[in-house]
Each structure stands twice: as structure tokens, then as C-alpha cells.
Amino acid sequence: MNKFTSIQDVPNLQELLTVARDCKQQPFANKHIGTNKTLGLLFFNPSLRTRMSTQKAAYNLGMDVIVMNVGSDSWTLETRDGVIMDGSATEHIKEAAAVMGEYCDILGLRTFAGLVDKQLDYSEDVLEKFIRYSGKPVISLESATRHPLQSLADVFTIEAHKTTTRPKVVLTWAPHPKALPQAVPNSFAEWAIAMNYNVVIAHPVGYELSGEFTRGASITHNQDEALHNADFVYAKNWSSFHNYGTILSHDKGWMITAEKMSCTNNAKFMHCLPVRRNQIVSDAVLDSPNSIVTEEAGNRVVSAQAVLRTMIESLA
Ligand code: SN0
């Protein structure tokens, strides 16, 4: 695996899940494989779980880690080709990525959607330029359109909790005060569909995700109907894809409450975090034993470690 930016980069999902299980059971069994290898973690946007879990995963494999807040601590980067750099950007992504590639064996990159220019976001401009100019394997730490380390942790968590071979997994939109990217729901949908779960996506009118991520899922505007008999409820806000980056609804009726959870098959509640309490989900649900958000976040170490281990093996 020479990049990890979407499920398409994974040659064998079941094999990756087996490696992940092994990393969970024996986190320090491969402490030698990362010796003298450097992981660079580059953040254009804030992070808590991704930063800590990926760093820990790298340490478990004996890697050295350099963390750089590119968005705030380094020079401001120009990403457009052929421009006269007489504005505020100090350095071009061509040099910056190439230099980081000199220092690191693997690069992780967080670059959120700008939510202004759909075409630019969905072309994964910054991520693709880092891949091209760094010359090193790149791991997405949430790009404009996907969050694959999160999705791998999500399906790993579902595998650990499922009580039927093909669980009903409901991805539901929930309200949020800010416009958020589609990366987490896009990615969760494509991984959950690849796992052959019974995937149902519920959202208000106008919140349809791009069809490339949701093919194979049932899509409904009726949340109650979706939640009926669900085994897993994955809540997430996202802004509109079609009316790009806009908020079309603040409908509090979409918040996940204990009453809504009572229509499910004693479903587990999931969210990638950070989560807005009593906006996305009520305190009662988040504080209930059915909430597995902390374990889900804990499994971010497992997903990062499985990906790093697989990548290091293909470096050699
Ligand atoms: C990001 C998102 O893509 O939705 C990261 C999730 C892992 N979430 C946010 O930016 C939340 C911001 C907020 O104000 O709640």
C-alpha cells in the first residue's frame, strides 16, 4: 500500500482488518519494524484524536514522529500552479512537500474541504499535490472528501459489536450550527457498503451525498423509518453537497434522542467526535451504555497502526 486516501487504496479489506485485530491484541509485537523510519504528521486543520492516535500508533511500531501544524506554524503555502507569488503566500506546495519528503518516510496530511469551490475540494487538490511532490507514501488524516482512518476504526468497531452477520447500520444527518464537510459521511458510507452491511442513510431533503459514495445504500428522508430495528446509529452533520457547503436545515427534530433510540434494535450509538451535545445527540444517549464513541475513538490507534504497519512492510 503506497497511499491510504480512500478504500480504493486498500487491496484487501479483510486482510487489513485482520492486521488491525492483531494490532489491538498485541500492540507492541512489531516494535522493531518502524526503527529509523520517520512519520511526518501535517495539519492544515485542528485535531485531537487523529493527532494523538496516529502518533501513538507510530510509537507502537518504533517510528519517530514529527508533527507540524502547517496551517498555523509554518509558512503560508501557495497551492495554485503558475501564479505570481506577490500575495501573502510565502512558499509553494511544490517545494514544501518535496522538502517534507526529504525528512520523512511516510507523510500524513489533514486538509479539510474549503466548502466554497466544490470542484476544487472534490479534486483533492492539496492531497494530490502532496502525493505528487513529496514522492513519499501519504496517509489521509481527513482530506476534503474522505476520512479513511476514521472509517477503518468505525468498521473495526462495528465488527467487534455486531451480533448478526449483516447488521443494519444507519448513517443519519443531525443538526449543527456550522457548515461541516461531507468527508466523514462520504467515507463512512463507502466503507460500510464495502463491508456489505445493510446501510441506510437518512437526511433532510437537499442533503444527498455524492452518488459515488452511497451506491448500494438505501437513502431516505424519514429518520424514524430508518432507525426502526437499526443495530448501529451513526450520527453526523454535513453541509449540502448539491448546494455546495450551505446549511439547508437547523431542524432540531433530527437530533438523536433516547426516544428515537428506543425504536432501534438496542442499537449502539456512534460518532467520530468531536460531537456537539444536545445538538447532534442528547446527553442521555451519549452518556448511555449504548454509546460506543470512546471505544470507537480508541480504535483510531488500531486503524492507524494497521495502516502504518502495512505501509512500512511495503516500503522495505
Ligand atoms: C470535522 C468534520 O469533518 O466534520 C472533523 C471531524 C473528525 N468536524 C468539525 O470540524 C467539527 C467542528 C465543530 O465546530 O463542531
Domain range for 34 is 3-146+300-315
- Kindly state if the Cβ of 233 falls inside 6 Å of ligand 1: no
179 plus 278 within the same structural domain = yes
Report d(CA 63, CA 312) in Å as an integer.
10
Report d(CA 132, CA 273) in Å as an integer.
31
Q: Strand, helix or coil at 58?
A: helix
Question: Residue 71: what pLDDT?
Answer: 81
- Kindly state if the Cβ of 209 falls inside 6 Å of ligand 1: no
13 plus 130 within the same structural domain = yes
Sign of the Cα torsion 275, 190, 137, 143 reads negative
**Of all atoms in ligand 1, which is nearest to the CA of residue 238?**
4
- Kindly state if the Cβ of 280 falls inside 6 Å of ligand 1: no
Question: Residue 284: what pLDDT?
Answer: 98
- Kindly state if the Cβ of 274 falls inside 6 Å of ligand 1: yes
Alpha carbon of 238 to ligand 1 centroid (Å): 9
142 plus 23 within the same structural domain = yes
Alpha carbon of 171 to ligand 1 centroid (Å): 16
161 plus 274 within the same structural domain = yes
Distance from the first to the final alpha carbon of the chain:
12
Residue among 298, 163, 177, 297 at smallest CA distance from 239: 177
CB atoms within 10 A of CB 94: 15
Question: How would you list the strands of the sheet with 198-202, edge to edge?
Answer: 218-220, 198-202, 168-173, 232-236, 268-270
Report d(CA 72, CA 88) in Å as an integer.
14
> At 31, phi and psi to the nearest 5?
-60, -20
CATH number reported for the structural domain that contains residue 54 in this entry: 3.40.50.1370
- Kindly state if the Cβ of 148 falls inside 6 Å of ligand 1: no
Query: Could you read off the pLDDT tens digit of each residue along the chain, which spans 316 residues?
Result: 999 999 999 999 999 999 999 999 999 999 999 999 999 999 999 999 999 999 999 999 999 999 999 988 989 999 999 999 999 999 999 999 999 999 999 999 999 999 999 999 999 999 999 999 999 999 999 999 999 999 999 999 999 999 999 999 999 999 999 999 999 999 999 999 999 999 999 999 999 999 999 999 999 999 999 999 999 999 999 999 999 999 999 999 999 999 999 999 999 999 999 999 999 999 999 999 999 999 999 999 999 999 999 999 999 6
Dmax of the chain from CA atoms?
60
- Kindly state if the Cβ of 32 falls inside 6 Å of ligand 1: no
- Kindly state if the Cβ of 185 falls inside 6 Å of ligand 1: no
- Classify 100 in phi/psi space as left (phi over 0), alpha (psi -120 to 50) or beta: alpha
Report d(CA 38, CA 55) in Å as an integer.
11
Model pTM score: 0.98
120 plus 205 within the same structural domain = no
CB atoms within 10 A of CB 253: 11
Alpha carbon of 152 to ligand 1 centroid (Å): 18
123 plus 171 within the same structural domain = no
Alpha carbon of 163 to ligand 1 centroid (Å): 30
Question: Residue 222: what pLDDT?
Answer: 98
Strand partners of residue 220: 202
15 plus 52 within the same structural domain = yes
Q: How far is CA 297 from CA 49, 162, 250, in A?
A: 7, 17, 27
245 plus 269 within the same structural domain = yes
237 plus 279 within the same structural domain = yes
CB atoms within 10 A of CB 133: 18
14 plus 97 within the same structural domain = yes
Residue closest via CA to ligand 1's atom 4 equals: 180
Number of domains in the chain: 2
141 plus 164 within the same structural domain = no
The three grid cell numbers given for residue 288, joined into one nine-digit string: 448511555
Alpha carbon of 36 to ligand 1 centroid (Å): 34
- Kindly state if the Cβ of 206 falls inside 6 Å of ligand 1: no
Alpha carbon of 34 to ligand 1 centroid (Å): 31
Answer yes or no: are the C-beta atoms of 252 and 228 closer than 8 Å: no
Sign of the Cα torsion 24, 29, 142, 191 reads negative
233 plus 274 within the same structural domain = yes
